[in-house]
Structure 1
Amino acid sequence: MLTALSIRDVVLIEALDLDFGFGLGVLTGETGAGKSILLDALGLALGGRGDSGLVRHGAAQAVVTATFEPPVPGSRLATILDDAGVEIEPGEPLFVRRLVKADGGSRGFVNDQPASAALLREMAPFLVEVHGQHDDRGLLNPRGHRALLDSFARIDTGAAATAWRTWRAAEAELDAARAEIETAARDREWLEHAVAELTKLAPEPGEEEALADKRRTMQRSEKIAGELAAIDEYLEGSDGGLARLRQAARVLERVAEDHPALGDALAAVDRAVIEASVAEERLAEARLSLAYDPRALEDDEARLFELRGMARKHRVQPDDLAALADDLRGRLERLETGEGGIAKLEKRALSARTAYDSAAAALSKQRHAAAQRLDAAVKGELAPLKLDAARFRTVVVALEESGWSGAGKDRVEFEIATNPGAPFAPLVKIASGGELSRFILALKVALAEEGGAATMVFDEIDRGVGGAVASAIGERLHRLATRTQLLVVTHSPQVAARGAAHLLIAKSHDGTVTRTGVRALSDAERREEIARMLSGATITNEARAQAERLLETA
């Protein structure tokens, strides 16, 4: 709901701050006072064209700020703001501000965060509905008529939406399977060859790394084999170091008792023999572990090169060859058993299609019945609004399959014929602004709470009517305003008397500058304004008395 509107330097408005409440608010004033400026300013804040001509003469920029109640969590408006990255604290009012510079260019803000005009326009239908002869949104937009009819009849589209998603998913799975089989059929020969080749190779995950490590080890063994042989020659053999140490130990054993130093020498030689023996054992272990079969090296190298070559051929890593083999084998198996699988998927898709057809048919039946009820409800509102000759109908027609959705198979559009014998036409093609506004009012009253923003604005809905018709308009506006915030620009005293709040739009001139101002009227001032609307320039006592009666009966 709109709670406040601040306007700075817009056309003839220098500075204006207005507060709004729930219910019916009426805006009156003499012709040319600037009522359209007020609506233009509100439209600017909601993403309207940022024309530099709106900037008051001599000012650098025009600024309009509209304040609304906090968005309801989870609502469409809250989702739009969230998707746009606009952060709104829970319970915080929504401030929508638009700035237009005199030299061109405009900027928008939502709660002081930059916002494009496109975002403001996307938000607008969920904030304010403006109904007038140039309105092209709200009830005039056929795209929203189906949702309005569903809301009017409390039609639940959940079952159809679920059936739609199930059917489309089944069709997508069937299409994917058919495409895969078609592709696989074209590639059957290649698949069979690739599967046979990979099956023969039988690659295993990690095999390439294991073979590479083994190959490196054997190549190293080959390199150090000669060095181990030389070491053996130095340690063993008739002239090896170990044999000579043992000979030296036997000689020292015979003379060690002749001198202490010889005993120490014998102990040292014995230790050397022991250490050399350990070295000999370790060399034997190393020789055994590093032993390799040249044929095995050749076989491992051949296997490694084969794995790497196959990986290059299929443009995968060697470790992925096993998974590739499984995938290609699966594709070949699906190709061979594909007809049976396709038949199952076709049966599933047909069953899902049948369920959707049934759910959509139920929706259509409900909509046709609801259309008759809505037509009757609107018809009952037309005569009091001096639209006796007008006819209204809700058209429910079947869409082509390309237009089907989770909301069913129907297109809904509201149509009217304004004169006897005239053909029905869409609402948007009505020529008369006054008729259009009254017709929208009739439809709004029939729809009651459904399909509207929290704030509705009717621009001169009473144009060209008076007396009983104006009273009927006022009564219906009053009834509608019990459910929402309603702002009405009016020339009718019968409508003005129904308002819970009354704003007067007036133009003033100080000899140099012309300004438009708006102020809330007290009860006494309201009576005077309604009397002026009744009598014209000269307010008579009879007009005041009649104004009093209108206020008392409102």
Structure 2
Amino acid sequence: MLRGLDIRDMLLIDRLELDFQPGLNVLTGETGAGKSILLDSLGFVLGWRGRADLVRQGASQGEVTAVFDLAPDHPARAVLQEAGIDAGDELILRRVNTAEGRKTAWVNDRRASGEVLRRLSDTLVELHGQHDDRGLLNARGHRQLLDTFAGAEDQLVAVRTAWRALATAQSDLTTAESALEQSRAEEEYLRHAVAELDELDPQPGEEERLDSERRAMQAAERVRGDVARALQALGGEGAEALLNDASRWIDGANEAVEGRLDAPLAALERAMEALGEAEQGVSDCLNALEIDPYALERTEERLFAIRALARKHDVLADELGGFADDLRTRLAAIDAGDADIAARRAAVTEARGHYDAAASDLSETRAIAARRLDTAMADELAPLKMERAVFRTVIEETEPGPEGQDSVTFTVATNPGAPPGALSKIASGGELSRFLLALKVCLTQNAEGLTMIFDEIDRGVGGATAAAVGRRLSALAERGQVLVVTHSPQVAALGAHHWRVEKRVADDTTTSTVVPLDAGDRVDEIARMLAGDTVTDEARGAAKALLAG
């Protein structure tokens, strides 16, 4: 419920504070007094798109603050939560417009965008008038209005859920078919590559091991040549032969020198033993360095094959095994492709069945609700002196979507036998006003927490019809809050709260203000609405009669 509206330096208003109440709030005043300024200012703070020149002449900026009461389950709370704004029992919207046209908004003292304001306004306020293009006259919203009237929220959730499941199943099928088609296009390559990898069967870490073995064998080949030459130098054709000759020569000469060569001869024997040990050690080492002459060749061939295959597939050598597994998976998908595609098509068929069932159930609910709405509209139009008019809710099949497979349009025929037309195409403004009012009464039977604003919706009607309009507005206000801008004394007399919009001129400056009216003031104001500029006793008497009901 709109509890308060504070306007500063907007158009003809310098400073205005209004406290609204539940029930029917009426605003009256002479033409041009500034009633539209109030709606422009309220629309501004709610983020509605409107006129740009809102700031009062001579002011640096204009500002509007609107205060709403929020029930615990008010739908505005969901918008606030999504925007990350704390929600209490009170919602304060404030918006500033500079003379240069810059706009800044706050929601509960948190900076907010115009989009957040507009989303909040959809849950807070509905504006209705002859040129209403935001609500009832917008055919794009008729389906949602009918669904709300039908109480089809749970069915809508079921349809949306089924639609998402169908869309997911269809997307999965399309992706699988595309992948299978692509895989089949490269099937020959996959089978050749997998056969090549299977034949080589590279193992993780094998490249590093082969490279190490290759370097070791290459090093062993070089070392073995040196060791063999050393063994030859130590053997019978080398040092051993020379020591044997020296020992034989010394032993032959030792008798002639009376044993003076005993010590060198003993040293030679020890040298011969050491030489033998050295020769044996070198021989053992040479035997240990003995390698298969083809081992290096085999090692190099496998190492080079692994590296070539890695380069061919642009992967690391250690990743060849995993790469082969990926190729096998793709081949397996090809081999199992037909079965997988069949299963996915079955899933799509099943999902479509669920969606069709949910959408058909929703369509049936809409058809029943449409008949109820048409009946309710007939009941509402009769007291509004439009008993010959016909309202029809037209439901037509349309492309399936998350909201079902129906399009909904509210149509009317104002005279018997006349073809029905869109609600927005009615020729008479007075008829349109009454249609909008009747439709709003029918559609808001279960609405709570919404402030409804009717801008001169009684224009073009008078007398008993205006009184019927007033009674419908009063009945509508019993379920919440209704603000009515009116020129009809019959409507104004039914208001629970009454304000008069006045235009004043002081010091060559024109301003608009709003004055709350007490019981006596209401008599004078309604008398003015009845009689015009000159208020007579008869007019006051008629006003009192209207107020008395």
Q: Do the two structures share a fold, i.e. TM-score over 0.5?
A: yes
Q: CA deviation at 1:462?
A: 1.1
How do 1:314-353 and structure 2 match up within 5 A? 314-353=313-352
Out of 3-12 and 380-389, give the one that drifted further: 380-389
Give the SS at the match of 1:409: strand
| 1:152 counterpart residue number | 149
Counterpart of 1:524 in structure 2: which amino acid? G
- Secondary structure (helix, strand or coil) at the match of 2:410 reads strand
> Are the equivalent residues in 1 in contact too, given 2:501–2:514 (CA < 8 A)?
yes
Mapped partners of 2:52, 2:97: distance in 1: 6
Structure 1 pair 496–347 and aligned structure 2 pair: CA distance change class (3 A) = same
CA contact (8 A) 2:72 2:89 kept: no
Alpha-carbon distance, 1:299 to partner: 5.2
Q: Whole-Å Cα distance in 1 between the matches of residues 170 and 105 of structure 2?
A: 44
Report if aligned partners of 1:221, 1:291 keep a CA contact under 8 Å in 2.
no
State which structure, 1 or 2, has the greater radius of gyration over its C-alpha atoms: 2
Sort the Cα spacing of 1:61 and 1:388 in 2 relative to 1 into closer, same or farther, 3 A: same
Within a 5 Å distance, the mapping from 1:51-450 to structure 2 comes to 51-70=51-70, 75=75, 77-83=76-82, 86-91=83-88, 93-155=90-152, 156-204=155-203, 207-208=204-205, 211-212=207-208, 215-216=211-212, 219=215, 303-399=302-398, 403-449=399-445
Q: Are 1:50 and 1:100, in contact at CA under 8 Å, matched by a contact in 2?
A: no
Equivalent residues, number: 494
* Residue of structure 2 aligned with 1:507, choices 503, 509, 515: 503
Q: Distance in 2 between matches of 1:60 and 1:125?
A: 30
* Partner of residue 246, structure 1: none
Distance change (3 Å), C-alpha of 1:53 and 1:407: closer
Matched, 1:30 2:30: yes
SS in 2 for 1:140: coil
Q: Could you tell me how far 1:15 is from its partner in structure 2?
A: 0.8
CA separation of 1:196/1:416 partners in 2, compared to 1, >3 Å: closer, same or farther?
Answer: same
Please list the CA deviations of residues 11-39 of structure 1 after superposition, one character each: whole Å capped at 9, or x if unmatched: 11111111223222111111111101111
The separation in 2 between residues aligned to 1:8 and 1:294, in whole angstroms, is 102
Residue aligned with 1:463, SS: coil
Q: Runs of 5+ in structure 2 lacking a partner?
A: 240-283
State the SS of the aligned residue for 2:382. Answer: helix
- Cα drift, residue 302 of structure 1: 5.0
Q: Which amino acid in 2 is paired with 1:6? A: D
Q: d(CA) in 2 for partners of 1:349 and 1:356?
A: 10
Deviations 1:190-227 (A, max 9, x none): 121122222223344xx14x642673587479769969
Aligned counterparts of 2:350 and 2:507: Cα–Cα separation in 1:
80
Answering whether residue 471 of structure 2 is matched by residue 475 of structure 1, we say yes
Distance in 1 between the 2:360 and 2:184 partners? Answer: 39
CA–CA distance in 2 between the matches of 1:526 and 1:301?
109
Alignment TM-score, normalising by the size of structure 2: 0.80
- Structure 2 partner of 1:12: 12
Normalised by the size of structure 1, how large is the TM-score? Answer: 0.79
3-state SS of 2:14 partner: strand
- Distance across 2 between alignment mates of 1:42 and 1:200: 80
Contact 2:207–2:317 (CA under 8 A) maintained in structure 1: no
Q: Distance in 1 between matches of 2:373 and 2:52?
A: 44
Counterparts of 2:86 and 2:330, CA distance in 1: 53
Is the 1:51–1:104 contact (alpha carbons within 8 Å) kept by the matching residues of 2? no
Quote the residue 1:454 is aligned against: 450
The structure-2 alpha-carbon separation of the partners of 1:198 and 1:217, relative to structure 1 and needing over 3 Å to count, comes to: closer
Closer/same/farther in 2, CA of residues 427 and 310 from structure 1, 3 Å limit: farther
Q: 1:431 to 1:197 in 2, by over 3 A?
A: farther
Is 2:17 the partner of 1:21? no
Contact 2:24 2:483 in 1 (8 A): yes
Distance verdict in 2 for CA 1:366–1:50, change over 3 Å: closer
Q: In the aligned structure 2, how far is the partner of 1:17 from the partner of 1:296?
A: 101
Q: Give 3-state SS (helix, strand or coil) of 2:53's partner.
A: helix
How far apart, CA to CA, are the structure 2 residues paired with 1:217 and 1:4?
Answer: 89
